[in-house]
Each structure stands twice: as structure tokens, then as C-alpha cells.
Amino acid sequence: MLLAEKVKQKAHELGFQKIGFARAEYLEEEAEKLNKWLSKGFHAGMAWMAREPEKRCDPRLLFPPVKTIISVAMNYYTPYEHNEAQNQGKISRYAWGEDYHNLLRNRLNDLLEFIKTLDPEAEGKICVDTSPILEKAWAVKAGLGWIGKHSNLITKDYGSWVFLGEILINVEIQDETKIEPDHCGSCRACIDACPTGAIVEPYVVNSNLCISYATIESRDPEISEEVADRMQKWLYGCDICQEVCPWNRFQKPSAEEAFKPRYGTTIDLDEIMALGPRDYQLKFQGSPMKRAKLEGLKRNARAIMRKSKD
């Protein structure tokens, strides 16, 4: 308990709003859900999701000496609105600022080094989004929040505007973790608001219909008409299911300067279409938006411009 309290205090000092601990084990229930989701093809073109799904559900296959999963959440909400002007493409809130992967990874590394000062035998593996681990499931087990019907983690304190990260560590850290129950109740706000019907049932998202998938992860040369007709000017990502969530009335402005908009909350579509490779590299260096690549951003801009013209 003393170790847990010291780690919590340090995590808060490093800028993490929430932290919890869970015993490393095989996630049997989550494995069944993942395999069912994959069998329906809901992962769309994300082939890596289907590779070694057992590793995603068992952290011991990812880091054999692991005994505890340390889960953290960092609030990234900043109180700005989208520019609804003509010919502007909207950007998902998470990508307004600097690349959160680097920020969280550096802070988690500092936390791991602190733990090593308390226990010289400590070893750990840091995970931020790109590792094959079910981040949201571990956040739930660590008591950070619950998974909403839109499939995002929701916290009572900050809503769903949080980044997640983990440290898989070979130390047993015991804490009185209280699992947060599901507080979605009968609410259907996210399901009803999704313009493409991507939330096919509560807690299940079909990526083939998801605007975020289409504009970020998809490598198809063009966006399907089924999605393109309902993009609502989203150039990169989509926040609709989070914007309508009643729990996000508890959102609080983040203290992290890095999460404030670098170049506004939208981008001029003509500017995107005119970008060459060098200008693209300079403009989006250090931004999460590089994930879509230049070809992807231009594809997204074309889809929005076609819809506006229609």
C-alpha cells in the first residue's frame, strides 16, 4: 500500500490525472469479445488487430516477468471550438496539439525510473497506444473508469477526453482498487448521433463505417460513398460520439500547453490539396496527423469538397 501511494503521488506530479493498478492476468472475457469483433470483420483494414490476438489479451506474452499493470490517464480537453467556415476541414480534438505518444511515453519513463529508485529490482515495459495491449480493458480493471457504448473509456472526473498509457512491471503493487461500474444506463446519445451508424450495437463499433477509421487508419485510395456522404467536414478523425456524451459535461481544461491547437481546430481544404511532400513534413512534424499521411489527408479533403459541391 505504501508503494502504491508513492507511485500515485509521483504520477500526479508528472501530470497524470488518474492512476490505478491491476494484477497481470489473461483477460478471458475481453478475449471472447475481441475474437467475436474480429470474426465479423469490424477491424476493417487494420490487419494488425488480427495478428496475435492472444498477445493483446495476455500481458505476460508481451512482457513475461510482468506482475502488475499500472494504468494512467491524462486529460487532453482544451476549450476551443471548430471553425465552421466554408472549405474548412475539422480535426479531432486529440490531434489539435503535439503528438501525445511522445509526451505520455516520456512521462511514463520518468515514472518507471522513480519506481526503480524505490525498488532497484524493478523492470518494466511502457505502452502508449501502439503496443498490442487492451488499454481500455486494463484502465477499467485499474478503476480509472468504464467503457462507454461508443467504446471509449469514460471517467467520472474528466469524461472521455483522456489519453491512456501503461507500465507493465515485474513488481507486485497492491492497492484497494474500486472498479467503476458502467454508468451509461439507458442512454443512446452516441449511438443515435453517429452519422454513419458505426456503433452497430452498444459497445460495438464497426470500423468499416467509422469516420475516424476512414480518415486516419484506412489506406484505401478513396473513402466509400457510404461514409463520405456523411463525413460532416471531418478531415481527420471524428469526435461526434464524445461531443454528445452527457458525461463530458464534467470535462475540465487540460493544464498541458502541448495539447492546445497548433494551427487552429480546422484546416483549409485548399491548403491541404496544395501541399507537397516537403511542406507536409514541415507542417505536420510532431503532430498526430502524420498518421494519415499526405495521400490520406488529400483523399479526405477531396471527399469533403465533393460533398460540399453536391
Catalytic annotation, pick one of 110, 129, 182, 229? 129
Is 129 annotated as catalytic?
Answer: yes
Closest CA to 288 of 310, 309, 258, 308: 258
Closest CA to 231 of 211, 252, 203, 213: 211
Residue 115: CB atoms within 10 A of its CB come to 20
Q: Are strands 88-91 and 266-268 parallel, antiparallel or unpaired?
A: antiparallel
Distance, CA of 117 to chain centre:
30
> Cα separation of 143 and 85, whole Å?
41
> Cα separation of 210 and 149, whole Å?
14
Residue 281: CB atoms within 10 A of its CB come to 12
> Cα separation of 104 and 152, whole Å?
18
Distances (CA, A) of 10 to 19, 87, 156: 10, 45, 22
Closest CA to 11 of 96, 148, 88, 113: 113
Structure letter (DSSP) for residue 213: I
Cβ neighbors of 28 (< 8 A, separation 6 or more) are 57
- Pull the grid cell for residue 177: 482498487
Taken in order 6, 8, 11, 12, the sign of the CA dihedral is negative
State the DSSP H helix or E strand holding residue 255, giving kind and residue range, or none if neither: none
3-state SS of the chain: helix, strand, coil percent to 5? 45, 15, 40
Which of the residues are catalytic?
129
